Amino acid sequence: MTQLNNYFGCKVWSEDSCLQCSDRYYFNKNGICCEVQGTCEQFNTKEGICEKCYEGYSVVDGKCAKVDKSTSNNVGCAQWKDGVCTQCSKRWFFNADNVCVEVSDLCSSWDQSTGKCTECYYGSVVTDGKCVANQD
């Protein structure tokens, strides 16, 4: 058994077959080590799909695709399944219409189901679920 880091994506060889892929590589259905897409933050090696992408990208059919910010229902979605947003990005929440809406920049914490601020950053106070400038 030989250990070679990243020889065609293989980390551990035994004679003429790869036993373990290198980091950020996975076995495809043909048993070949393939590189994980660079825009993928969380990859499911068992399924061979990306489950979470870095900011600016969304999961589409197991791969990361650039978010089209001109289409309003694409903005703020972290994960898609069959054309439907299943998870909003950080600092976004689902509104009543199941569309991702951005949380106010002044909120330091918020209710995930309503998006209402529960705590504000310094200089602001919570008033009716929104952060407003502290007048004191």
**Per-residue pLDDT tens digits for 41-53:** 889 888 888 888 8
Q: Quick one: pLDDT band at residue 118, thresholds 50, 70, 90?
A: very high
Q: In this structure, is residue 126 part of a structural domain? A: yes
The total number of structural domains in the chain stands at 3
Q: In this structure, is residue 79 part of a structural domain? A: yes
Q: Are residues 51 and 74 in the same domain?
A: yes
| CA–CA distance, 80 with 42 (Å, rounded to integer) | 14
In sequence order, what are the residues at sequence separation of 6 or more whose Cβ sits closer than 8 angstroms to the Cβ of residue 53? Answer: 39, 40, 41, 59, 64, 78
Query: At 86, which amino acid appears?
Result: T
Alpha-carbon distance values, 12 to 2, 20, 45 (Å): 6, 5, 16
Q: Are residues 109 and 79 in the same domain?
A: no
Q: Whole domain around residue 121: which residue ranges?
A: 103-136
In sequence order, what are the residues at sequence separation of 6 or more whose Cβ sits closer than 8 angstroms to the Cβ of residue 4? Answer: 10, 11, 12, 13
Q: In this structure, is residue 20 part of a structural domain? A: yes
Q: Whole-prediction pTM value?
A: 0.46
Residue 131 has pLDDT above 80, yes or no: yes
Residue 6 has pLDDT above 90, yes or no: no
Q: In this structure, is residue 98 part of a structural domain? A: no
